[in-house]
Copies of this chain bind each other. A is one copy, B any other.
Amino acid sequence: MPTSLHKADWIAVDWGTSNLRAWAMTDQGEILAHANSPDGMGSLPPDGFEPALLRLIDSWLGAGTTPVIACGMVGAKQGWAEAAYAKAPCPASSDTLTRAPTHDTRLDVRIIPGVCQPDPADVMRGEETQIAGYLAHDPNFDGILCLPGTHTKWVHISAQEIVSFRSFMSGELFALLSQNSVLRHSIGDDGWDDTAFADTLDAVISRPETLAARLFSIRAEQLLHDQSPQVARARLSGLLIGAELAAAKPYWLGQPVVLIGAPQLTKNYATALAAQGVTPTVKQGDSLTLAGLTAAYSAQKDSK
Q: Note all chain B residues with C-beta closer than 8 A to A216.
A: 122, 151, 167-169
Contacting pair A224 B116 (CB below 8 A): yes
A251, closest chain B residue (CB): B213
- In the complex, the count of this chain's copies comes to 2
Interface segment, one of A89-97, A175-183, A287-295: A175-183
If the complex has contacts A209-B249, A211-B211, A212-B170, are A217 and B120 also in contact, measured as CB distance less than 8 A?
yes
A5 in the interface (beta carbon within 8 A): no
| C-alpha spacing A167/B183, complex, angstroms | 13
Residues of B within 8 Å of A180, CB to CB, are: 176, 180
17 interchain pairs, CB-CB under 8 A:
A116-B220, A116-B223, A118-B224, A121-B217, A121-B224, A123-B219, A167-B216, A169-B182, A169-B215, A172-B181, A173-B181, A173-B215, A176-B180, A176-B181, A208-B208, A209-B247, A211-B243
Residues of A within 8 A of B (CB): 85, 116-118, 120-123, 150-151, 166-170, 172-173, 176-177, 180-182, 208-217, 219-221, 223-225, 240, 243-244, 246-249
